[in-house]
Amino acid sequence: MKTLIKNCHIISDNLEITNGHIQLEDKLITAIGSGIVDEAGYDRVVDAQNSYAMPGFIDIHTHGALGFHAGDGNLASLEKIAQDKFTEGVTTFCPSTVTMPEELLLQAMTAIKSYHANERFAKVAGVHLEGPFINRNKLGGQNTKFVQAPNIEFVKKLQDIYEISIVSFAPEVAGGLEFTSQLNELGIIAACAHSNANYRDIEQAKQHGLSHLTHFCNQMTALHHRDIGAVGAGLLDDQLTVELICDKIHICPEMIKLIFKCKSLSTLMLITDSNYLRGLPDGEYELRGLRNVLRDGKIWVGDTNTLGGSGLKYNIGFKNIVEITGLPLKDLIKTTSLNQAHKLGLKKLGKLEAGFIADIILLDREFNVNQVFIDGLQR
């Protein structure tokens, strides 16, 4: 099928075209240009009405929404989450688990595999395993009952069911360095999260293959003038990629400005880290013995001042960094898609360019999602 998307404002990595058009054939982009194009010979013509056309967002860290969790262990939950991702402009995502019992993690992997076998909505690019190999002193929204020491054999058991792309863990705990090396041997991204690692710990773990900092600044050692901690390591070292929850709650606007000033854009990745409560009414909820309170868009762990994931939609996170940093869209867009595609090894994703997969989103000037194309099909 040949499709023409006309009258769009194209934004891609280092590319901006006003009055643009995008030509698709089956799953691929075949051409991009500007001005009027002959509409004859197309099976479908879509008038974007001057919407932004951008690569579909890639969310490498998202737990759920609307009461559904990636760890529920059933296909229906995955379908609801993946369908909801379209409302945020996300066309590819990593379903993310939490620290929970081993049998439930095994069930979750089986359900994710089942969804991947028949993807009707957003596509899965492997699982993000957050925990259970974390530091008990940096729990955040994780359940201390199910924390365990690094265990590569259990990771292999999960990997035998379905692909794991990222494991977020505390590299400073006993066995953490060996575990880092073992993850690299399996081709899994080793990421620091829920960690008390100081700067030297991070540098040492890097020598074993640590390359990523999960939900940067949150539940990790802060910047200090006597030890710059994990946050300082992330700011200083462009070999480390970092995730950002840009809801202006997990990271304040001034910190977002500082990160974008210090770090290369090619190292930054927007995420949602969305909790299963995103999109539900304010109130108290419980998931596997852990009580959460949703209030004014913020999700708290019980009665504490600890955040337990976010209520963020991906397109709003992008809007926030546009407003906070003032940087051009053609530069910022790589933080939503191309960087993630490179990190995960996803070929032909993350750019609007001939030969790339036609995962495209159309957004209005307030960054609301109007239309989504995935593999060239309009959804």
Cα(241)–Cα(351) distance, integer angstroms: 19
pTM exceeds cut of 0.95: yes
Task: For residues 41 and 92, state if they share a domain.
Answer: no
φ and ψ of 244, to 5 deg: -130, 125
Tokens 């402009």 belong to 89
Report the candidate in 278, 280, 365, 235 with the shortest Cα–Cα distance to residue 59: 278
Task: For residues 327 and 355, state if they share a domain.
Answer: no
Task: For residues 43 and 155, state if they share a domain.
Answer: no
Task: For residues 22 and 155, state if they share a domain.
Answer: no
Cα 89–Cα 58–Cα 161 angle in degrees, nearest 5: 120
Query: Domain with 365 in it: what CATH number?
Result: 2.30.40.10
DSSP code of 220? S
Upper half-sphere CA count for residue 190 (Cβ side, 13 Å):
26
Residue 229's region, left for phi above 0, alpha for psi from -120 to 50, else beta, is: left
Report the candidate in 129, 134, 206, 120 with the shortest Cα–Cα distance to residue 166: 129
Query: Domain with 76 in it: what CATH number?
Result: 3.20.20.140
* Cβ neighbours for 215, distance < 8 A, ≥ 6 positions apart: 61, 193, 243, 244, 245, 250, 271, 273
Task: For residues 39 and 147, state if they share a domain.
Answer: no
Which whole-number Å values give the CA distances from 199 to 59, 63, 143, 223, 329, in the listed order?
Answer: 27, 28, 26, 9, 33
Cα(280)–Cα(277) distance, integer angstroms: 5
3-state secondary structure string across 58-101: EEEEECEECCEECCCCCHHHHHHHHHHHHHHCEEEEEEEECCCC
Task: For residues 161 and 260, state if they share a domain.
Answer: yes
- Whether 67 contacts 277, CB under 8 Å: yes
Task: For residues 151 and 239, state if they share a domain.
Answer: yes
How many independent structural domains does the chain possess?
2
Task: For residues 25 and 78, state if they share a domain.
Answer: no
Cis amide bond preceding 132, omega within 30: yes
Task: For residues 41 and 184, state if they share a domain.
Answer: no
- The whole domain housing 247 covers 57-344
Q: Is 106 exposed, middle or buried (0-12, 13-18, 19+ CB in 10 A)?
A: middle
As given in the structure block, the two tokens for residue 258 are: 């500082």
Task: For residues 270 and 159, state if they share a domain.
Answer: yes
Task: For residues 28 and 101, state if they share a domain.
Answer: no
Tokens 């999109």 belong to 279
pLDDT of the chain, 379 residues: tens digit per residue? 999 999 999 999 999 999 999 999 999 999 999 998 999 999 999 999 999 999 999 999 999 999 999 999 999 999 999 999 999 999 999 999 999 999 999 999 999 999 999 999 999 999 999 999 999 999 999 999 999 999 999 999 999 999 999 999 999 999 999 999 999 999 999 999 999 999 999 999 999 999 999 999 999 999 999 999 999 999 999 999 999 999 999 999 999 999 999 999 999 999 999 999 999 999 999 887 889 999 988 999 988 889 999 999 999 999 999 999 999 999 999 999 999 999 999 999 999 999 999 999 999 999 999 999 999 999 8
φ and ψ of 90, to 5 deg: -90, 125
Task: For residues 50 and 62, state if they share a domain.
Answer: no
